[in-house]
Homo-oligomer: A and B are copies of this chain.
Amino acid sequence: MPQDNHFSDEERRGVYRAIYERRDVRSHFLPDRVPDDVLHRILDAAHHAPSVGFMQPWDFLVIRDAEIRRSVHRNFECASRRAAEAYRDEQRKLYDSLKLAGILEAPINLCVTCDHARLKGGGLGRQTDPAVALYSTVCAVQNLWLAARAESLGVGWVSILDLEQLKTTLGVPAELTLVAYLCIGYVSEFRPHPDLEEKGWETRSDLASVTHFDRWGVHHSGEQDRK
């Protein structure tokens, strides 16, 4: 393979550190201001995500206004109370003890939307699966999340929200899809494990159990057998 585009060991370590040390942050936000140049870098990282047909279907709405965040927080509290009703006994106690959003604590909230009707890309690659425009938007979120980790910024994705109400609160045009609502800020710490693993809500599955080779359900690699 050609050598000119290689990463140094430390550069490659940075990529894996971002992937393994990224956390979905809810509890550890600090009020410290995020400088504009840092915010610009993580948004530009998002903007350089892959997109189907080079469609770039995303928009980024940066929310610092306290009143808007209070309104979103009320939306979250209401949605979370409704969601809690699905749980009983020990699971309900555990649910009630989880900190699920840092909307008020994080100095920046970010709403990421997808515009399915965007003309860019000329429809290329979207005829067989219209969801790929949404997928492109999620790639932008994940780029931002990893760049944020490299900048020592925590990010938390809040999905327990009434999305239609949220669109009204934020003035997002009705025809857009609201994909992600993120809380962003510096943190007191990045925990060594995901919160939901630490709190006993769920365990990490074994990679081998979700990896198949050539045929679904074949969990060993023929390549390895031939060694």
Residues of chain A having any CB pair with chain B under 8 Å = 1-2, 5-8, 10-22, 24, 30, 32, 36, 40-41, 43-45, 47-50, 52-56, 58-65, 68, 79, 82-83, 86-87, 91, 95, 100, 120-129, 131-132, 134-135, 138-139, 141-143, 145-147, 149-152, 157, 159-163, 170-173, 179-180, 186-190, 194, 196-197, 201-205, 207, 210-217, 221-224
Chain B residues positioned under 8 Å from A53 (CB to CB): 196, 201-202
Contact A126 B10 (CB under 8 A): no
Q: In the complex, how many angstroms separate the beta carbon of A31 from the nearest chain B beta carbon?
A: 11
Q: Which residue of B lies closest to A100 (CB)?
A: B125
Q: Which residue of B lies closest to A87 (CB)?
A: B122
Q: How many copies does the complex hold?
A: 2
Q: Which residue of B lies closest to A63 (CB)?
A: B214
13 of the cross-chain contacts (CB-CB < 8 Å) are A11-B14, A24-B50, A50-B157, A60-B211, A64-B213, A64-B214, A79-B128, A91-B122, A128-B160, A128-B163, A134-B138, A143-B146, A171-B216
Among candidates B36, B55, B60, B135, residue contacting A138 with C-beta atoms closer than 8 Å = B135
Complex CA distance for A114 and B61, rounded to whole angstroms: 28
| Dominant secondary structure at the A interface | mixed
Complex CA distance for A143 and B79, rounded to whole angstroms: 30
Contact B128 A161 (CB under 8 A): yes
Q: In the complex, how many angstroms separate the beta carbon of A16 from the nearest chain B beta carbon?
A: 7
Contact A54 B197 (CB under 8 A): yes
Query: Lowest 8 CB-CB distances: which A-B pairs, in order?
Result: A11-B14, A14-B14, A142-B142, A138-B138, A54-B202, A15-B150, A171-B216, A54-B196
Contact B127 A223 (CB under 8 A): no
Contact B6 A17 (CB under 8 A): no
